[in-house]
Chains A and B, each alone.
Chain A
Amino acid sequence: QKEVEQNSGPLSVPEGAIASLNCTYSDRGSQSFFWYRQYSGKSPELIMSIYSNGDKEDGRFTAQLNKASQYVSLLIRDSQPSDSATYLCAVKPGGGADGLTFGKGTHLIIQP
């Protein structure tokens, strides 16, 4: 059974610091990896996608992928109180016809 594991938290980070979120997955054949942000009562919002090993940066966000270790991470620089949310790691085996397998999410709290 395909699994995506995340530390549920809460992870508390001071405003302005770097928040580091981690995720491991069990399906070695997975090809696509995503980080979503979900505010309470709302649907997920795509933050980052990554498909190859290494780092991918977009503004304050950096996604890191290590397929050999089956590990994905998300770094949030200069954390803001508005970044407080649950961050979901999602994995997809391949192309557009495949659904996503989500982790349970990490609850991030940015302390002003």
Chain B
Amino acid sequence: GAVVSQHPSWVICKSGTSVKIECRSLDFQATTMFWYRQFPKQSLMLMATSNEGSKATYEQGVEKDKFLINHASLTLSTLTVTSAHPEDSSFYICSASAGGYEQYFGPGTRLTVT
């Protein structure tokens, strides 16, 4: 149980374009979903927290107009990187919580912006 999927697993896009990443909880309802970013040889950094039907809460330093998060249902959250630039290239990982203490991580999406 507690399986989280992400799609796509990797994506290459050109600078200036937008990319959408989906995060789904497959066997439980996720009241809260989280988006993290991990640069090479760095740890995971929390970008934003989203609750179903509410606006996402962004961490300090994360541009909400650049990283659009939509938590449309209790099983789906999307992250759209708008006007992507090479410095946005990173490993994006979502996690989901059913309201308890533990978070279940998706397999991650590797974004490369050329």
A residues in contact (CB < 8 Å) with B:
32, 34, 36, 41-46, 49, 51, 88, 92, 95-105
Contact = CB atoms under 8 A, between A and B. Distances in A.
Contact of B101 (A88, A96, A105): A96
Contact of B105 (A43, A96, A101): A43
A41 B38 CA distance: 10
Contacts of A101: 46
Interface residues of B, number: 27
B102 A46 contact: yes
B93 interface: yes
Contacts of B45: 102
B46 A100 contact: yes
A49 B99 CA distance: 15
B31 A99 contact: no
Interface of B: 31-32, 34, 36, 42-46, 49, 51, 59, 93, 95, 97-108, 110
A49 B44 contact: no
Contacts of B105: 36, 43-46
A16 B31 CA distance: 41
B67 to A, nearest CB: 14
B106 A43 contact: yes
A41 B95 CA distance: 16
B102 A49 contact: yes
A103 B43 contact: yes
Given A92-B101, A99-B49, A100-B95, 5 more contacts: A34-B102, A99-B46, A100-B46, A101-B46, A102-B45
Given A88-B44, A102-B43, A104-B42, A97 B49 contact: yes
20 contacts: A42-B107, A43-B93, A43-B105, A44-B93, A45-B105, A46-B104, A49-B101, A95-B99, A96-B32, A96-B97, A97-B49, A98-B49, A99-B46, A100-B44, A100-B95, A101-B46, A102-B43, A102-B44, A104-B43, A105-B43
Contacts of B42: 104
Nearest to B46: A99
Nearest to A97: B32
